[in-house]
Amino acid sequence: MNANIYSVIACSFPRSAAVPALIDREGATYTYEDLARETARLAHLLASLGLKPGDRVAAQVEKSPQALFLYLAAMRAGMVYLPLNTAYQEHEVDYFLKDAEPALVVCRPQAKAWIEPLAQRAGTRHVLTLNEQGGGTLMEAAAGQPGHFETAEVKEDDLACIIYTSGTTGRSKGAMLSHGNLASNGLTLRDYWCFSESDVLIHALPLFHVHGLFVAVHCALLAGACMRFHRRFDPKAVLEDFSRATVLMGVPTFYTRLLNEPELTREACRGMRLFVSGSAPLLAETHRAFAERTGHAILERYGMSEAGMITSNPYDGERRPGTVGFPLPGVNVRVADEQDRPLPAGQIGGVQVKGPNVFLGYWRMPDKTREEFTADGFFRTGDVGVFSHDGYLSIVGRAKDLVITGGYNVYPKEVELAIDEIPGVLESAVIGVPHPDFGEAVTAVVVRTREGAGLTEEAIIRHLKGRLAGYKVPKRVYFVEGLPRNAMGKVQKNVLRERFSRSD
- Which range touches ligand AMP (CB under 6 A), out of 21-29, 121-129, 233-241, 279-287? 279-287
Residue closer to ligand AMP (CB basis): 131 or 381:
381
Residue closer to ligand AMP (CB basis): 224 or 397:
397
Evaluate whether 244 touches 275 at the Cβ level (below 8 Å).
no
Least distance between ligand AMP and beta carbon 490 (Å)? 6
Query: Contact letters (x/-) for ligand AMP, 234-273, by CB under 6 A?
Result: ----------------------------------------
Least distance between ligand AMP and beta carbon 256 (Å)? 14
Least distance between ligand AMP and beta carbon 488 (Å)? 6
From candidates 264, 280, 396, 410, binder to ligand AMP by CB under 6 A = 280
Residue closer to ligand AMP (CB basis): 134 or 308:
308
Burial of 114-147, coded b for 16+ CB within 10 Å and e otherwise, reads: ebeebbeebebebbbbbbbebebbbbebbeebee
Least distance between ligand AMP and beta carbon 323 (Å)? 9
Which amino acid belongs to residue 185? N
Number of H helices, E strands in the chain: 16, 25
Which amino acid belongs to residue 503? S
- Longest alpha-carbon distance in the chain: 71
Comparing CA positions, the residue from 305, 334, 300 lying closest to residue 318 is: 300
- Which range touches ligand AMP (CB under 6 A), out of 31-39, 295-303, 356-364, 431-439? 295-303
Least distance between ligand AMP and beta carbon 334 (Å)? 15
Surface-to-core class of residue 257, CB atoms within 10 Å of its CB (0-12 exposed, 13-18 middle, 19+ buried): middle
From candidates 77, 210, 220, 444, binder to ligand AMP by CB under 6 A = 210
Evaluate whether 272 touches 243 at the Cβ level (below 8 Å).
no
Residue closer to ligand AMP (CB basis): 142 or 274:
274
CA 490, 276, 330, 341: dihedral to nearest 10 degrees? 40
Distances (CA, A) of 185 to 86, 329, 447: 26, 10, 37
Instruction: Mark residue 288 as left, alpha or beta (left: phi above 0; alpha: psi -120 to 50; beta: remaining).
Output: alpha
Count residues binding ligand AMP (CB under 6 A).
Answer: 18
Distance in angstroms (rounded) separating the CA atoms of residues 438 and 209: 38
- The SS3 call for residue 249 is strand
Query: Contact letters (x/-) for ligand AMP, 378-407, by CB under 6 A?
Result: ---x-x-----------x--x---------
Query: Contact letters (x/-) for ligand AMP, 297-326, by CB under 6 A?
Result: ---x-xxxx------------------x--
- Interaction of residue 281 with ligand AMP, rule CB under 6 A: yes
Least distance between ligand AMP and beta carbon 87 (Å)? 13
**Beta strands per DSSP E along 328-463:** 332-336, 349-354, 361-362, 379-387, 393-398, 403-405, 408-410, 425-435, 439-448
Query: Contact letters (x/-) for ligand AMP, 423-462, by CB under 6 A?
Result: ----------------------------------------
From candidates 83, 134, 186, 278, binder to ligand AMP by CB under 6 A = 278
What part of residues 153-172 is at the interface with ligand AMP (CB under 6 A)?
165-166
Footprint on this chain of ligand AMP (rule: CB under 6 A): 165-166, 210, 278-281, 300, 302-305, 324, 381, 383, 395, 398, 488
